[in-house]
């Protein structure tokens, strides 16, 4: 079991799941200024040198109720649908009372609108990885997968309503899901202060 007591007591701890290569710019504004948050990086891929090597569906090496926040950027869609409740239960388990999980996933309702307009392979927006088309949002970034990164394949997806329902089913007390301009859903899910 990994004890996450390394952070100074004045800092809160964010468990960055599916972190990829180290880069503090991967943390959203909620975790700045950096001095207020201590990032602990968790990933299944040892090549990215995470602090903790584990799957988001089994984070048993992380102590229960040991972190203030969990940050997950575009990880849940890489799981199979039956694995999503396992990951969300793990997010909930490692959070302290009053803690929160912040996550983002593709907004398949908006993606479906583009597909219905016959724009499956037309770029919808430009990302640091290059142009992103609805096909990439549905099945995973084609360039990364073609380059051999099979972890980038998508196996499930969400609408705002289905993501909210999954978080409520996982036991989060308060859930808020919003859309952004890049065809993504952002969810914040809180653990009740009493646990």
In a domain, residue 114? The reply is no
In a domain, residue 7? The reply is no
In a domain, residue 128? The reply is no
CA-derived radius of gyration, the chain: 17
Q: How many domains does the chain have?
A: 1
In a domain, residue 163? The reply is yes
In a domain, residue 112? The reply is no
- The CATH number linked to 57 is 3.40.50.150
Contact 43, 19 (CB under 8 A): yes
Give the pLDDT confidence of 148-172 residue by residue, as tens digits. 988 889 999 999 999 999 999 999 9
Give the pLDDT confidence of 72-123 residue by residue, as tens digits. 999 999 999 999 999 999 999 999 999 999 999 999 999 999 999 999 999 9
pTM of the predicted model, to two decimals?
A: 0.91
Tokens 């040991």 -> residue: 66
The H or E element that residue 131 is part of is strand 130-132
Quote the domain boundaries for residue 75: 12-106+156-190
CA distance 15 to 68: 8
Contact 19, 42 (CB under 8 A): yes
Tokens of 158: 């969400």
């Amino acid at each position: 079991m990994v004890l996450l007591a390394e952070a100074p007591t004045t800092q809160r701890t964010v468990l960055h799941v599916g972190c990829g290569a180290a880069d503090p710019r991967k943390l959203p504004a909620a975790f700045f200024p950096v001095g207020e948050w201590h990032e602990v990086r968790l990933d299944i891929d040892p090549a990215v040198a995470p602090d903790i090597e584990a799957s988001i569906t089994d984070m048993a090496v992380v102590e229960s109720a040991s972190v203030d926040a969990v940050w997950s950027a575009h990880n849940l869609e890489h799981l199979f649908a039956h694995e999503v409740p396992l990951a969300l239960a793990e997010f909930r388990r490692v959070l302290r009372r009053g803690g929160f999980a912040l996550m983002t996933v593709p907004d398949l309702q908006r993606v479906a609108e583009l597909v219905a307009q016959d724009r499956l392979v037309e770029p919808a927006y430009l990302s640091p990885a290059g142009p992103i088309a609805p096909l990439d949002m549905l099945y995973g970034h084609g360039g990364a997968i073609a380059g051999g990164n099979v972890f980038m394949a998508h196996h499930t997806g969400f609408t705002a309503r289905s993501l909210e329902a999954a978080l409520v089913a996982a036991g989060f007390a308060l859930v808020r899901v919003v859309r952004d301009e890049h065809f993504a859903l952002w969810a914040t899910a809180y653990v009740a202060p009493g646990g």
